[in-house]
Amino acid sequence: MGFPKEGFYLKRVSGGFALALFLVAACAGFMGLKLETDKILRAKIPGSSIIYVPSGKFLKYATFGYSALAADMIYLWAIQYYSTYEIADRFTYLDHIFAIIAELDPRYTDPYEIGSMIAGQEARDIPLALRILDRGFAKNPDMWLFPFEAGHIAQRQLKDFDLARKYYEKAMVLPGAPDFTKRLYANAAFKVTDFKTSWETWIEVYNTATDDRVKKIASNHLYQVKAEMDVDALKEAVAKFKEKYKRLPEELSRLVTAGILTSLPRDLDDKDYVYDAATGYVKPPTMWWKR
């Protein structure tokens, strides 16, 4: 005669079962709530997640030798951060963040490219874009890509051919730079009316060209440069003539007989330049790109 043992042990088993049920219910509960809280949008201060951004130098020491890993992580985060267009003022720390990545892993080239792209195309801060590429080049003087891209940005966005020329000059001597970098340089030099440099460079391109197409391009550009120089010289002579004789010369040979020029320049194909006596305009017989 005892107490209902089976009933008691059943209670213990059911106690365990009840606990298991409770665990499942609680788990389902909080998972459901998580889905709910995700739906609620929280007000975000722009850049609030990075309110206190420490300096790169500090981080380098703080990451205990894992600076390259830290650079990767921060770069990954930065990509997500800058693709989140809702954060309206996300460019506030753009320079700083990419400076940190550069400090942590200076030889990691992607961030410089992407950083400059974000700066240039999204933040519309061209000087910053160039600064980022400069930083990349300073840390990686053997990478042709940085001055190459900087040259393009200077040329296309800023229309600053002098700056572009400086960049292309740096890029073209580095190993791995594409051939046409030289051509870009020559072209930029031309645009800033540095005809001497432009001529010399195009000669070099012509001489080192490995296929006919490049030779043709070089030749055309040489024509262009010479034509420009010659036309300028002729225009100057015409102006001198007009000053002296108070009228335009009838034809270009008059400039020689008047003693202003020793001889008439001819274009690269050894053709005469075209002169319009009525207006005084000089122009080359063919357009350089139509040759």
Partner 1 sequence: MKVGTIALNTFKEAKRDRVLYLLFFFAAVCIVFSRVLAILTVGDRVKIIKDVGLASISLFGVLMAILMGTGLVYKEIDKKTIFTLLSKPIHRAQFILGKYLGLALTLFIMTVLMATIFLAVLFFHTFRVEWPMLTAILFIFLELMLITAVAILFSTFSTPILSSIFSLSFYLIGHLSWGLETLIKKMKPGTGQTLARALYTFLPDLENFNFKTEVVHGLPIPPKIFVYSTLYGILYAAFVLGLAVWVFRKRDFI
Partner 2 sequence: MGNALKIEGLHKSFSTGFIPKKKEILKGISLAVEEGEIFGYLGPNGAGKTTTIKCVLSLIFPDRGTVEIFGRPHLSSKAKEKVGFLPENPYFYDYLSAREFLSFYADLFLLNKAEKEVRIASLLKLVGLEKAAGLHLRKFSRGMLQRVGLAQALINDPSLVILDEPLGGLDPIGRKEIRDIIVRFKREGKTVFLSSHILQDIEMICDRVAIIVGGRIINQGTLHDLISEKVLFTEVTVSGLAPAELAGLGESLSVHGGKVLLKVYDEDRVGRVLDLVRDKKAKIESLIPRTETLEDIFVDMVRRT
- Of 17-25, 120-128, 231-239, 257-265: span binding partner 1 (CB under 8 A): 17-25
**Residue 42 interacts with, from partner 1, partner 2, none (CB under 5-8 Å by kind):** partner 1
Q: Which stretch binds partner 2 (CB under 8 A): 2-10, 202-210, 221-229, 272-280?
A: 2-10
Sign of the alpha-carbon torsion through 63, 54, 105, 70? positive
Residue 19 vs 287, nearer CB to partner 1 = 19
Measured from the CB atom, is 6 or 243 closer to partner 2? 6
Residue from 1, 51, 88, 278 in contact with partner 1 (CB under 8 A): 51
Give whichever of 20 and 239 is closer to partner 1, judged by the CB atom.
20
Cα–Cα distance, 163 to 156 (Å, whole number) = 11
Site for partner 1 in 58-87 (CB under 8 A): 80
Report the interhelical angle of 145-153 vs 126-139 (nearest 10°).
Answer: 160
Q: Exposure of 123 by Cβ count < 10 A (0-12 exposed, 13-18 middle, 19+ buried)? A: middle
**What is the C-alpha separation between 283 and 56, in angstroms, rounded?**
57
Query: What residues from 115 to 174 belong to the interface with partner 1 (CB under 8 A)?
Result: none
Residue placing its CB nearer to partner 2 in the complex, 7 or 259: 7
Q: Please report how close the Cβ of residue 13 comes to partner 1 at its closest, in angstroms.
A: 12
H-only helix segments in the chain: 5-39, 56-62, 67-83, 94-104, 110-117, 126-139, 145-153, 161-172, 180-191, 195-208, 212-245, 253-257
Looking at 15-23, 181-189, 213-221, 238-246, which segment touches partner 1 (CB under 8 A)?
15-23
Tell me the C-alpha distance between 282 and 235, whole Å.
7
DSSP string, 34-88: HHHHHHSPPP--TTGGGSS---HHHHHHHTTT-HHHHHHHHHHHHHHHHH-TT-T
- Cα–Cα distance measured from residue 259 to residue 141, given in angstroms and rounded to the nearest whole number: 53
How far are the Cα atoms of 91, 110, 156, 228 from residue 258, in angstroms, in the given order? Answer: 64, 63, 44, 23
Nearer to partner 1, 1 or 31 (CB): 31
Q: Judged by CB, which is closer to partner 2: 8, or 85?
A: 8
Q: For partner 2, what does the binding mask look like between residues 5 and 44, x meaning CB under 8 A? A: x--xx--x--------------------------------
Residue 11: CB minimum distance to partner 2, A: 9
Q: Which residue of 37, 210, 263, 279 would you call a contact of partner 1, by CB under 8 A?
A: 37
Nearer Cβ to partner 2, position 1 or 41?
Answer: 1
What is the distance between the alpha carbons of residues 156 and 58, in angstroms, rounded to a whole number?
A: 37
DSSP state of 250: S
Which chain residues interact with partner 2 by CB under 8 A? 1-3, 5, 8-9, 12
Which chain residues interact with partner 1 by CB under 8 A? 16, 19-20, 22-23, 26-27, 29-31, 33-38, 40-45, 48, 51-52, 80
